[in-house]
Structure 1
Amino acid sequence: MSGPAPDRNGPLTRAASAIYWFVVVEVLWVLLTAPGFVAALFLARDASNLPLYALAAVPVGPATAAALFAWRVFLRERDPSPAHQFGRGLRLGWADALRSWVPALVALVVLGTNVAYAGAAGLAAPVVLLQVVLGVVVLLWAVRMLALASSFSFRWRDAARLGIYTLLNRPLVTLGMVSLLVLVAGLAVVTFDAVPVLLASVLTYFLARNENPVLDDVQRRFVAPSPPTSSSTTP
């Protein structure tokens, strides 16, 4: 005599599904970014290597956008296939992610080099502080652009304007992003560099939750609704 059928909506099933999602997204994110991180391990920690560190960080943009796409699906539908959703997000958003991420990396290299060699260049302390602030703003803008690229395909200049607008218009969400970036930096400093990488799926999950209100707002206010299909229109 067979026992009762397992409850597919029970707490244990949901917990197992969530753990599976975190593991799969983590593995895929690490696999996509591993070449850059491995290359970075062989670089000396010197400001002269900032361009090479930026080059190693290029895959982080598309990988993060793909993870954000997958987590957005998870938060809405609990799809049983995280690998499929991650791959779909990568396929749809990698170009838009690179178009925003690469210019941001270039800007961060320029600003970081200026700060690192501020003494040799004779830059005043207020100028150095301004460049640090600009670096933080560029990083916040870049992360917001990755979130937009994970769900939409805007022209670059439209996405850039939306990135700036939403940073200013949704200050609490922006503060949440700042908190996550501080957490990542703190983990890297207090522990070691690999810890944020090993927690990438958890960090991108919380980033996706943080960015959801902005993406929903952009969907409602700036994305035209899909036209009705012929089958749904009245003849």
Structure 2
Amino acid sequence: MSDTARAGRQVGDGPLSRAAAFVYTLLAVELLLLLTTLPGLAALVLLDRDASNLPLVAACLLPVGPAISAALYALRHQRPDLTDLRPAAMFWRAYRNNLAGVLRVWVPTVLWLTIIAMNLANLTAAAVPAWWAVLLVLVGAGVALCGANALLVASLFSFRTRDVVRLALYFLVHTPSVTFGNAVLIAAAAGLTAVFSEAVLALLGAAFVLVFLRIGEPMIRGIRKEFTE
């Protein structure tokens, strides 16, 4: 082995190097997340928090799904070697390759959540019983959790859309730790947005995506074991 190769190997194998590679990858993914969601994010921050703006909020959220998908892929395939980091290349490759498949699960998820939110916002005007609000919240939670599973599956695997949805529903029940973890993560994201703003959540986007990826590990392993091997 040449001195150059040996030096490169030493640089890429140490714990400090792996830590630097991880931080670099996380920062690169965060910048790319902001870049790909900036138009919608800018409009979202300027919108008043009024129920009449919910359709506009949904439109602003449409670019978020493909961006999260690309971030999931880039973080999942991060390299520990500081001399061989390509988070941007992985992000853009996943963004292009997964765009159509991710939108097929992301758009219906956003649409259903928007419809549910609009119904909740107009319960008083509709004069429906209080239990209807509880039902809507439960349905909304199910849609959000199923959508989260589907987004993760579509980002890391190549399945038909209907199979992605089936897997999302299947693991919603069969991996309760993932379901619970995603519920906590979604609640934390909603709380952070409510207390501060969408901009603060966006600045922590890569960290949230990384946690989302770690929570989904049991589901990822289950899919690899049961459906790809």
The answer for the alignment partner of 1:55 in structure 2 is 59
In the TM superposition, 1:35-114 aligns within 5 A as: 35-74=39-78, 80-114=85-119
The answer for the alignment partner of 2:3 in structure 1 is none
| Cα 1:135/1:105, change in 2 over 3 Å | same
The answer for the alignment partner of 2:194 in structure 1 is 189
CA–CA separation in structure 2 for the residues paired with 1:58 and 1:38: 13
Paired letter, 1:71: L
2:37–2:67 contact (8 Å) kept in structure 1: yes
Higher helix fraction (1 or 2): 2
Paired letter, 2:14: G
Paired letter, 1:58: L
Structure 2 counterpart of 1:172, from 177, 188, 207: 177
1:25–1:82 contact (8 Å) kept in structure 2: yes
Structure 1 counterpart of 2:17, from 13, 19, 24: 13
CA–CA separation in structure 2 for the residues paired with 1:23 and 1:43: 28
Structure 2 counterpart of 1:127, from 127, 132, 147: 132
| Cα 1:75/1:120, change in 2 over 3 Å | farther
CA–CA separation in structure 2 for the residues paired with 1:168 and 1:77: 37
CA–CA separation in structure 1 for the residues paired with 2:172 and 2:205: 23
The answer for the alignment partner of 1:229 in structure 2 is none
CA–CA separation in structure 2 for the residues paired with 1:94 and 1:114: 30
| Cα 1:176/1:36, change in 2 over 3 Å | same
Unaligned runs of 5+ in 1: 226-235
Pairs aligned (count): 221
CA–CA separation in structure 2 for the residues paired with 1:103 and 1:20: 34
The answer for the alignment partner of 1:231 in structure 2 is none
1:72–1:212 contact (8 Å) kept in structure 2: no
| Cα 1:67/1:77, change in 2 over 3 Å | farther
Output the TM-score relative to the length of structure 2. 0.90
| Cα 1:117/1:82, change in 2 over 3 Å | same
Q: Percent identity?
A: 40
Output the TM-score relative to the length of structure 1. 0.88
CA–CA separation in structure 2 for the residues paired with 1:153 and 1:10: 34
1:61–1:97 contact (8 Å) kept in structure 2: yes
CA-based RMSD:
1.9
Specify the SS of the correspondent of 1:8.
Answer: helix
